[in-house]
Amino acid sequence: MFDRLEDLVARLDEVEGELASPDVASDADRFRKLMKEQSDIAPIVAKYLEYKEANQTIADSLEMLDAEKDEDMREMIKEELNEAKEKVETTSNELKILLLPKDPNDDKNVIVEIRAGAGGDESCLFAAEIYRMYIHYIEGRGWKYELLELEEIGIGGMKSVTFKVNGKGAYSVLKYESGVHRVQRVPETESGGRIHTSTISVAVLPEAEDIDVKIDEKDIRIDVMRASGNGGQCVNTTDSAVRLTHFPTGIVIYSQTEKSQLQNKEKAFALLRAKLYDIEQQKAHDAEAEARRSQIGTGDRSEKIRTYNFPQGRVTDHRIKLTLYKIDQIMNGDIQEILDALTAADQAAKLTQMNEG
């Protein structure tokens, strides 16, 4: 590990030297790649320098203890020594996490797809609430979002909703949300007052660029039509809606959220690219099924991952056995504690696997 860290220190010096070169500054692609590499390496090097400094403090303190006779001074040195030992332990663990193999998608923007499942209208209502939960969270982080696809029902529910999230590291944060979310409560539509169980599914897909996915024009049919539903001014009066059919996979994308046919087409292609990229990712994951099972990752989307129990005011994430009794705050977007716990559990599983390997 330490040989690799020393290599990273040397590499950071090289990268910073290249970035200062006028030749690199005039080459936009080269400059961008070097900036990305610098941003990846710099936090690791900074943590390693903290680790080395703490180790040096230990060595210096031990040397001073041998020479020092005054008891008060010895106590101060011992206190500094203990702090340095704690620092070495914490920075060592942090370095192990920083050196874990990075998911190549972690820095990407994401496309989130929420679909109503079992439970009829109640499932659609819950889908709309989960959508609002994510929007509150996204806005709280200062990220941006963009609606791609929406199918509503008349009572304020959503059969399906798809939106894009633009934010640094959005995939690394939100990827654990993929799976089945279950709600238990007395529905507003239920006159008998019985607790009802409904489900929705959430899929979090990394945004795919043209370089990630090649789409052959002959594999696509593009249909344009009038938008349906509550369009409002001029949405329903022009052929602005776009439907893409991808023949090899059977995927059909329908986009009508914009007044412009061109914008709807762009959104439809962005969603298609993400879905095709996701299919390739799933194939790769299936090839590494054993490794995937040992992690809290973006695994089986049919897995029930979380229950929202309104009568008891609790939310339980079943993957990490975490239960929080603050359902109102969570539904209002306060999900950071859950996301942090999932990230920590995933890192711990990967560290265990790395140590065993």
Q: 3-class secondary structure for the chain? A: CHHHHHHHHHHHHHHHHHHCCHHHHCCHHHHHHHHHHHHHHHHHHHHHHHHHHHHHHHHHHHHHHHHCCCHHHHHHHHHHHHHHHHHHHHHHHHHHHHCCCCCCCCCCCEEEEEEECCCHHHHHHHHHHHHHHHHHHHHHCCCEEEEEEEEECCCCCEEEEEEEEECCCHHHHHHHHCEEEEEEECCCCCCCCCCEEEEEEEEEEECCCCCCCCCCHHHEEEEEECCCCCCCCCCCCCCCEEEEEECCCCEEEEECCCCCHHHHHHHHHHHHHHHHHHHHHHHHHHHCHHHHHCCCCCCCCCCEEEEEECCCCEEEECCCCEEECCHHHHHCCCCHHHHHHHHHHHHHHHHHHHHHC
**Confidence (pLDDT) at 281:** 79
Residue 357 has pLDDT above 60, yes or no: no
Say yes or no: 228 and 114 in one domain.
no
Residue 330 lies in a domain: yes
pLDDT in tens, 84-104: 999 999 998 888 888 887 888
pLDDT in tens, 20-78: 888 888 888 888 888 888 888 899 999 999 999 999 999 999 999 988 888 999 999 99
Instruction: State the average pLDDT over residues 183-204.
Output: 85
Total domains present in the chain: 3
Say yes or no: 190 and 305 in one domain.
yes
Say yes or no: 140 and 275 in one domain.
no
**Confidence (pLDDT) at 226:** 79
Residue 120 has pLDDT above 80, yes or no: yes
CATH number for position 67: 1.20.58
Confidence of residue 232 (pLDDT cuts 50, 70, 90): very low
Confidence of residue 237 (pLDDT cuts 50, 70, 90): low
Share of the chain above pLDDT 70, in %: 89
CATH number for position 345: 3.30.70.1660
**Confidence (pLDDT) at 140:** 95
Last residue of a domain, which of 266, 283, 300?
283
CATH number for position 273: 3.30.160.20
pLDDT in tens, 243-299: 889 998 899 988 888 888 888 888 888 888 888 888 887 777 666 555 445 445 554
Say yes or no: 315 and 275 in one domain.
no
Residue 357 lies in a domain: no
Share of the chain above pLDDT 90, in %: 44
Say yes or no: 94 and 116 in one domain.
no
**Confidence (pLDDT) at 235:** 45
Domain containing 222 equals 217-283
pLDDT in tens, 320-335: 999 999 999 999 999 9
